Amino acid sequence: MTTYSDLSSEELRQEYSRLQERYSSYKQLGLNLNMSRGKPCPEQLNLSMGLMDVLSSNVDLHCADGTDCRNYGVLGGIREAQELLGSIIECPPESIMIYGNSSLNVMYDQISRSMTHGVMGSTPWCKLDKVKFLCPVPGYDRHFAITEYFGIDMINVPMSDIGPDMDMVEELVSSDPAIKGIWCVPKYSNPTGITYSEETVKRFARLKPAAPDFRIYWDNAYSVHHLYDDDQDFLIEILAECQKAGNPDIVYKFTSTSKISFPGSGIAAIATSENNLKDIRRQFRIQTIGHDKVNQLRHVRYFRNVESVREHMMKHAAILRPKFELVERIFDEELSGLGIGTWTKPKGGYFIAFQSLPGLARSIISSCKECGVELTEAGATYPYHNDPENSSIRIAPTYPSLKELENASHIFATVVRLETVRQLLEKR
């Protein structure tokens, strides 16, 4: 297939006219699709409706150790919930604290407490002249929003198909004591869908930070969120690697059931070293007497064990897999060989990352919105919403129906072609 850049100016003008006609016909559909977030669709939410039936007024709400889940206490969560979450993220229950429904809230709290009270006796970050964070890009916009909110300087670290540029990470972390952390989504990363390689994880574990209060913020949000039963990415366990490397305190590992059960009503957790847990508990007991143990018990009684969770996630995959494959098929049919963009084909997670030619992401997203398809805001996958190439676009195919997604994918492909031809003509 001839690439667009090989076409003559006259051929480009003819293509532009054809694409404009197609775009106008799509506008007539009157679509109103919001694909800006990675939301589970209603069919996925229906998978967990049994959660509503496992507890009732005539059910015993005591744990195996006698804890009455209706009452105060149990700061770190009930043992059964620690065991369940631990089995999902491959950590011993002793290393886990159970929180409320949102792992993002847990991460926010960790940053906030570090700002006001420091980490394990270190100087509170708010008293330092400068605090910096490393941000693999493209990355998760809500991570960047937290560090920006607290006035922390963010440094871009390029991502590859095996994880962040570890040469850059190692050099910066070892030489600059103002660098206090790095954001990571190590499995089916948001938005690229890549999983960190074994060597990348081991290099993280062997980091030698200049700052004793440096921490890896390891957001393992998609640990069991595979699209295929027989073709899955594998991520080695970071806490064990840190222990082997003599760096047990260097990482905070976060997880939740947000896209396993109900996103707004799940349970979240942090897994880390005993030293870190002692530090967190000392501050945490001022904040709360304990999180919702009834909800923890509900999840434990419904899911029972990690094998049951995996069976449940296979049902999620059966809903999501056709959506990802539909987007990939349409992109392959409409965009492959034209030299106008690349996209990821993840084996799990919630996103597809599209890379347009430089300078086009904003206009592509804007034109899609005019056609009734709202995508994540341009630049959102970079700190300060500043994508230096203006080319990174996050696509969230999970929420729309297959028919809606088919229309949205054709519209997106048409817009990418239209905006690319427009740019090429302007440069002629």
Q: What is the pTM assigned to this prediction?
A: 0.96
pLDDT tens digits, residue range 362-382?
A: 999 999 999 999 999 999 999
Residues 66 and 208 in one domain: yes
Residues 300 and 345 in one domain: no
pLDDT of 1 > 70? The answer is no
Q: Which of 304, 326, 342 is the last residue of a domain?
A: 304
Residues 279 and 332 in one domain: no
Share of the chain above pLDDT 90, in %: 97
Residues 71 and 116 in one domain: yes
Residues 37 and 69 in one domain: no
State residue 143's pLDDT score.
98
Residue 412 lies in a domain: yes
For residue 126, what are the domain limits? 61-304
Residues 189 and 273 in one domain: yes
pLDDT tens digits, residue range 182-229?
A: 999 999 999 999 999 999 999 999 999 999 999 999 999 999 999 999
Residues 147 and 281 in one domain: yes
Residues 97 and 30 in one domain: no
Determine the straight-line distance between the first and last CA of the chain, rounded to whole angstroms.
21
Of the candidates 214, 193, 245, the residue with the CA atom closest to the CA atom of residue 353: 193
Q: Which of 258, 274, 304 is the last residue of a domain?
A: 304
Residue 52 lies in a domain: no
Q: What is the DSSP string of 52-72?
A: GTS--TTS--B-TT--BTTSS
Q: What is the 3-state secondary structure (H, E, C) of 355-420?
A: EECCCCHHHHHHHHHHCCEEECCCCCCCHHHCCCCCCEEEECCCCCCHHHHHHHHHHHHHHHHHHH
**Looking at the 3D structure of the chain, how many domains does it have?**
2
Residues 235 and 314 in one domain: no
Q: Which of 250, 271, 304 is the last residue of a domain?
A: 304
pLDDT tens digits, residue range 299-321?
A: 999 999 999 999 999 999 999 99
136: preceding bond cis by omega (within 30 degrees):
no
Residues 38 and 179 in one domain: no
> Can you give the CATH number for the domain in which 388 is found?
3.90.1150.10
